[in-house]
Chains A and B, each alone.
Chain A
Amino acid sequence: MDMPLPDQAVLSAHARITGRLRGILPADAVISDPTETRAYECDALTAYRCAPLAVVLPRSTAEVSAVLRLCSELGVKVVPRGSGTSLAGGAFPTADCVVLGVARMNGVIETDYENRFIRVQTGRTNLAVTGAVEADGWFYAPDPSSQLACAIAGNIAMNSGGAHCLKYGVTTNNLLGVTMVLMSGEVVEIGGPWNDAPGLDLLGVICGSEGQLGVVTEAYLRILPKPEGARPVLMGFASNEVAGACVADIIRAGLLPVAIEFMDRPCIRACEDFAKAGYPDCEALLIVEVEGSDPEIDAQLARIKEIALRHDPVAYRESGSEEESRKIWLGRKSAFGAMGSIADYMCLDGTIPVSELPYVLRRIGEMSAAVGLSVANVFHAGDGNMHPLILYNANEPGQLETCERLGADILKLCVEVGGCLTGEHGVGVEKRDLMHVQFNAADLEAQLRVKDVFDPGWLLNPAKVFPLDVTASRRAG
């Protein structure tokens, strides 16, 4: 992965830049000691590392504004950062940048049940948003796997999803308004605790813009009353094709589970060894969760069972208690941890039309065998969002490169069958150079023009999302 050469003028002005930052922020909000900035050298895409020039941790929108105004004036690039849990390198720094972390801005500004929203500072973690309203019977729906750690700022930047978005949608469907600071330092309020925009839907293009357009410091989020109950069922099948057909039938039948999760044999094995969740020994496994009152759940599961039985499941286990529900989810939720315990891995995130599932899984199997790296598949089957995990050994020379090539080939396959490069993790630096596979020059140019409007100097989150060749002339300016 290439990154542009750092701006030598900025590097040599290090002392002056940090001095100016200290002039506008409290002393503890500016970090420039190399032993401390190292903590910010990467996000959850740990294969790439680069310590930034400095890190700032402002406590208010006004402080964020002051930082961006100053960096604009000095021509210094800024990399916004939530909790640093991006799997795509969305918060990967450059040597000549200031990392702007919003972690200290984590308060709740307003909670309003009658109007069904919460307004928070965006450094607040995803789970802590639900935490603020849970006791009163409410929750915030998007639930990325990293929800314990990930910040709302990052969720908005990446338009994060989660296992339950099949029913509740992703971040963009649950975001009502933002306070955003432009690179110029100007603060804009977009949207609010009402629906839709009077003019262009700027909120829609800001959500998922990966820190390219501005730094979102506050957000109005839709909150929902908690369902009365939820219950998962686990089913094992003799092949990926059969499990895929079962998913399609459940969807066709008009049932709306909150989640349909899919794991293939390599993934089931690893999770079983790691978490001992008691998963059946089979080729493919589905976890289907439904919500409602007990009688409603019973009625839905009766229909789901009827469909599943038509596909000769080798196992069918409905949860009968909290403990059993926990066990069913245990393996799935520890999938990444399980993989991490046996190898280094790269987690992909392509989405495909659900109908292409069996074909894509078969092709991934062939491609994985051809290069000699194993791939375990775990994904949100209801919406076709796949997470192939490529296992490799970082200490063996050449394996990371082989893994990256296989990853790229799998993502190209996703696009080929009518899907996309990333369903919920974002492009970041990881998939930046693959954007040409999905978009032609005119498609990309239209996106660059949006960036031109919000960040004309191209200083925000440099060298991400867009292939370097198409942004070269703009970055030079």
Chain B
Amino acid sequence: MVRAASGALSLCGGGTRGVAFGAGEVLETSSLSGIRLYEPGALTLVAGAGTPVAEVEAVLAAQRQRLAFEVPDMRGVLGRGGVSTLGGVVAVNACGPRRVQVGSARDHLIGVRFVDGRGTVVKSGGRVMKNVTGLDLVKLMAGSHGTLGVISEVAFKLQSMPETEMTLRTQVPLAEGLGLLRQALGSPFEVSGAAFGRFGALLRIEGMEASVRYRAQALQDFLGGDWAEVAGRTLWAIVRDGGGLGEGALWRVSCKPTAAEAVVEALHGVEHEATFDWGGGLIWIAVRGVADGGASVIRGALAGVGHATLLRGSGAAVFHPEPPGVAALSRALRAKFDPRAVLNAGIFDQGARG
């Protein structure tokens, strides 16, 4: 289909999380569905790119395993329906709160097969956990938003589910809360979630029962203050799925954790709301009542300390501008993989959908 395409193609998995779509005929990957190999003893899974995430998660859960990077469900904040697919997860390099401990989709993706813009089938990586054979196109495909190829098959390494998890919460002001989160991430107690929002400051610990109990106590002793154990599942889902923020332009900011406060402070005087994850390394920000969605202020505050993607709203470029040297390399790579510019063409240059 790619080879025969006479015009542009807009790539789409389940259409639940893409932040930018190309013009042209829609190419859906939902028929490339199904788990092709699942080896619980080797912690590996190979599946078609169109396989629903929910199907995979159910199969893994039956063996008490999971995709460690936590797949967000963005349908709520993006106002979408549809069925999230593995290919879409890879295309946007999705991840959740556990990013601080285990990385994002790209860190768990061990193999990929795709059809490039010429219509050629290419594979990279494989189904083993350690592989440095040849250039790592697996990483390049993760987060490429469908601009380098149509992903047809993916292989992931998996993680065993922990015996138990515990969430600790304290109600403190922003600056103090973020400081505590950074301190917790710098402790040896293996925090797997560190978030702040209108629900307070949250820390998550996972593992064997006895170990979780021990670390929860050790963390509280280490941090001081007033922490309480709370039911965490719903709270972490809010943090994971876009921060639970209401109307307005929605931003996903990735920054140096210590810069988080200043980024939000820069919006002083503008109606906004923020939820922080990764100890401040990730900020979901909803901005209301500004023509550019707050782009100039947010991106200005991020110079040299991070980048921001506009997930929802209009009036600004979706993707953070890259330094000229990096942008030139990225452009040249896209031209090599998709010389006719048919795959989600131009999305890295376009503004947000209205």
Contact = CB atoms under 8 A, between A and B. Distances in A.
Nearest to B138: A204
Given A194-B255, A199-B330, A451 B135 contact: yes
B236 to A, nearest CB: 18
Interface string B316-354: 000111110111011011101100000000001000000
Given A172-B136, A446-B137, A194 B128 contact: no
A300 B208 contact: yes
Given A169-B107, A205-B140, A225-B186, A351 B131 contact: yes
Contact of B130 (A187, A204, A351): A351
A431 to B, nearest CB: 8
Interface stretch (A23-31, A124-132, A251-259, A315-323): A251-259
Given A196-B254, A443-B122, A204 B327 contact: no
A242 to B, nearest CB: 15
B325 A186 contact: yes
A377 interface: no
A348 interface: no
Contacts of B143: 196-197, 200-201
Nearest to A426: B132
B352 to A, nearest CB: 14
Contacts of A255: 160
Most buried by B among A112, A204, A225, A252: A204
A7 interface: no
B224 interface: no
Contacts of B282: 195
A380 B130 contact: yes
A114 B93 contact: no
Interface stretch (A336-344, A367-375, A417-425): A417-425
Interface residues of A toward B: which range? Answer: 35 or more
Nearest to A256: B160
B258 A115 contact: yes
Contact of A201 (B142, B210, B327): B142
Given A201-B93, A205-B140, A452-B336, A165 B130 contact: yes
A303 B187 CA distance: 25
B305 interface: yes
B130 A170 contact: yes
A289 B101 CA distance: 19
Contacts of A112: 258
Given A295-B210, A447-B137, A418 B126 contact: yes
A399 interface: no
Interface in A236-258: 248, 251-256
Contacts of A199: 319-320, 322, 326-327, 330, 348
A11 interface: no
B329 A435 contact: no
Interface string B31-71: 00000000111111000000000000000000010000000
A453 B148 CA distance: 14
A93 interface: no
A261 to B, nearest CB: 14
Contacts of B142: 201, 204
B132 A115 contact: no
A159 interface: yes
Interface in A141-187: 158-159, 161, 165, 169-170, 172-173, 186-187
A22 B224 CA distance: 60
A115 B306 CA distance: 12
Contacts of B103: 169, 173
Interface stretch (A33-41, A42-50, A63-71, A207-215): A207-215
A159 B132 contact: yes
A252 B258 contact: no
B39 A159 contact: no
A373 B307 CA distance: 55
B130 A205 contact: no
Interface string B91-123: 001000001000110110000000010001111
A112 B182 CA distance: 12
A193 B116 CA distance: 32
Interface in A358-373: none
A20 B260 CA distance: 48
A254 B337 contact: no
Given A194-B254, A195-B282, A202-B326, A420 B126 contact: yes
Contact of A450 (B40, B104, B140, B278): B140
Given A113-B186, A196-B254, A423-B128, A355 B42 contact: yes
Contacts of B255: 194
Contacts of A204: 106, 136, 138-140, 142
Contacts of A296: 208, 210-211, 214-215
B281 interface: yes
B181 to A, nearest CB: 10
B135 to A, nearest CB: 4
B134 A195 contact: no
B133 A438 contact: yes
Given A196-B143, A204-B139, A188 B128 contact: no
B229 interface: no
B130 A424 contact: yes
A207 B140 CA distance: 11
B307 A446 contact: no
A329 interface: no
Given A256-B160, A293-B214, A427-B133, A195 B139 contact: no
Interface of B: 39-44, 64, 93, 99, 103-104, 106-107, 116, 120-124, 126-140, 142-144, 147-148, 159-163, 182, 185-188, 208, 210-211, 214-215, 218, 254-258, 278, 281-282, 304-309, 319-323, 325-327, 329-330, 332-334, 336-337, 348
Given A205-B137, A384-B130, A449-B337, 9 more contacts: A169-B103, A189-B325, A189-B326, A194-B305, A201-B144, A225-B187, A225-B188, A352-B128, A442-B120
Interface of A: 112-116, 137, 158-159, 161, 165, 169-170, 172-173, 186-190, 192-205, 207-209, 212, 225-228, 248, 251-256, 292-293, 295-296, 299-300, 303, 351-355, 380, 383-385, 418-427, 431, 435, 438-439, 442-447, 449-454, 465-466
Top 8 closest pairs, chain A to chain B, by CB: A204-B139, A254-B160, A198-B320, A423-B130, A198-B307, A188-B325, A383-B129, A449-B336
